[in-house]
Chains A and B, each alone.
Chain A
Amino acid sequence: MIELRDVSHAYGDRPVLRGISLDLTEHRIGIIGANGSGKSSLARTLNGLVVPDSGTVRVDGRDTRRDPRAARRRVGFVFSDASTQILMPTVAEDVALGLRRAGLTADETRTRVDAVLDRHGLLDHRDHPAHLLSGGQKQMLALASVLVTKPDVLVCDEPTTLLDMHNARVIERTLRSLPQRLVLLTHQLDMLQGFDRVLVMDGGRVVFDGAPDEATAHYTALMDARAASMEPSNQGERA
């Protein structure tokens, strides 16, 4: 379980998280919100990438402030831009990187790497230069590189944002098929169908927490109201 207690954080004088308390226990959790709403910062607190200015985040009872490495072992993180997540020149080497400190033999590492590449359709590319893969393949590689370490929870920060519809669908299906608990940040609301819980973020706060349909309706209404307030006629009225 991931517990957040009164979590607040700011970048300089810009607060991005304001007093968030949550227990994340469900199998599939979605987080939606406008750009700058704080959802990426919230996601980054879940595996210790961001240590909040105040409040605590515990992953299976371990405080991310005191033991961020333990949190990262349990919570894998996939970024929206796979290119920056790929650190090694070839596909297999990038997947193997996360296992360098796992104390495995070369054969064990190879077996595990090949298994995860095979599962995600990348085995034929194992010795290919990672930077020459297509966008969808890169995102799949980023996912495989995290999954090879067998995390309990996977946090995906807009993993389909840079992908075309076909590749987005492939990633979506892959995420749905994973046994791991999933925390998915997305702007593609249809991806949240069947999720157990969806959080709506706005201004660094969770402004709605509930079922996917209600959450997306709440978010849509919030964005409609905001767009309406930005229309020139309304701005004129305000002026």
Chain B
Amino acid sequence: MNVLGLFVPGRSVLHRLPAGAKLLGLLALVTVLVVLDDHRAGLVATPAAALACLAAYPASGLGLRRPLRLLLPLLPFLAVIALFQTLTGDPRAAFRVCLLLVAAVLAAGLVTFTTRVSAMLDLFERLARPLAPLGVRPDRVALVLALTVRSVPMVAAAWQESRDACAARGLPAWPHLTVVPVIVGMIRTAEAMGEAMTARGVD
């Protein structure tokens, strides 16, 4: 898995659901879990939601490695939150908040893994249409979002190149040595991408 190779082709129910329905479902799930005031209800509903989200991965043909990889970077934060909540005398809250985060990340992952970027763009374009009278161009909103997503691996590659260049010259990858080449490289890339957009008629 990588940052942008997120969509996994498939024909599951989740794959066939419209992007808007999935985003609404995600919003509803997270909202309900957050506002559940009753501790006892929360202690049942939150782990149930997390388990249901986890179970949805293999059911959608996504396997179990993807959700585990998603959760791995979250572990240090969960540990800090759990420690803090336990020390402040509320271990049940620690349990609930951590599982809430797990459920939210897993649910968000489900949406991302089963939705094409183009479907998301179409949705954002539709959502931005009411703003058109205010001068907002919906197609541009969608394009900016797409380019933002596309730029992530480019920045990562530029960063790695800069670090490699330092290493090749026997220098440690200190931020003051790596940041400037990355910024200059990204500005040049942005200019080239702008030119490519114009050439492809999507300006």
Whether both chains belong to one complex is answered with yes
Of the candidates B5, B147, B200, the one whose C-beta lies within 8 Å of that of A129 is B5
CB distance from B119 to the nearest CB of A (A): 10
Whether A131 sits at the interface, judged by CB under 8 Å, is yes
Whether A127 sits at the interface, judged by CB under 8 Å, is yes
Encoded as 1 (CB less than 8 Å from any B CB) or 0, chain A from 70 to 111 comes to 001100110101011111111001001110110000000000
- Label chain B's interface by main secondary structure: helix
Give the docked Cα–Cα distance between A79 and B193 (Å): 10
Q: Which of B50-58, B148-156, B163-171 contacts A (4 or more CB under 8 A)?
A: B148-156
Give the docked Cα–Cα distance between A156 and B92 (Å): 64
Of the candidates B116, B153, B189, B201, the one whose C-beta lies within 8 Å of that of A84 is B189
Flag if B189 contacts A89 (CB, 8 Å).
no
Flag if B201 contacts A98 (CB, 8 Å).
yes
Known: A89-B150, A132-B5. A97 touches B200 (CB 8 A): yes
Flag if B197 contacts A47 (CB, 8 Å).
no
Whether A17 sits at the interface, judged by CB under 8 Å, is no
Flag if B9 contacts A127 (CB, 8 Å).
yes
Of the candidates B147, B150, B153, B198, the one whose C-beta lies within 8 Å of that of A49 is B198
CB distance from A109 to the nearest CB of B (A): 9
Question: How many inter-chain residue pairs (CB < 8 Å) link A and B?
Answer: 86
Of the candidates A76, A89, A146, A149, the one whose C-beta lies within 8 Å of that of B4 is A89
Known: A93-B116, A127-B7, A129-B4. A86 touches B199 (CB 8 A): no
CB distance from B68 to the nearest CB of A (A): 20
Flag if B197 contacts A87 (CB, 8 Å).
yes
Whether A112 sits at the interface, judged by CB under 8 Å, is no
In the complex, chain B residues whose CB is within 8 Å of the CB of A127: 7, 9
Encoded as 1 (CB less than 8 Å from any A CB) or 0, chain B from 113 to 147 comes to 00011100000000000000000000100000011
In the complex, chain B residues whose CB is within 8 Å of the CB of A83: 154
Give the docked Cα–Cα distance between A96 and B121 (Å): 12
Nearest opposing residue in chain B for A97, CB measure: B202
Flag if B116 contacts A90 (CB, 8 Å).
yes
Known: A83-B154, A89-B149. A100 touches B117 (CB 8 A): no
Flag if A131 contacts B192 (CB, 8 Å).
no
Give the docked Cα–Cα distance between A98 and B203 (Å): 11
Give the docked Cα–Cα distance between A96 and B200 (Å): 11
In the complex, chain A residues whose CB is within 8 Å of the CB of B196: 79, 84-85, 87
Of the candidates A76, A87, A128, the one whose C-beta lies within 8 Å of that of B202 is A87
Flag if A98 contacts B2 (CB, 8 Å).
no
Whether B90 sits at the interface, judged by CB under 8 Å, is no
4 nearest CB pairs, A to B: A129-B5, A84-B192, A77-B199, A85-B196
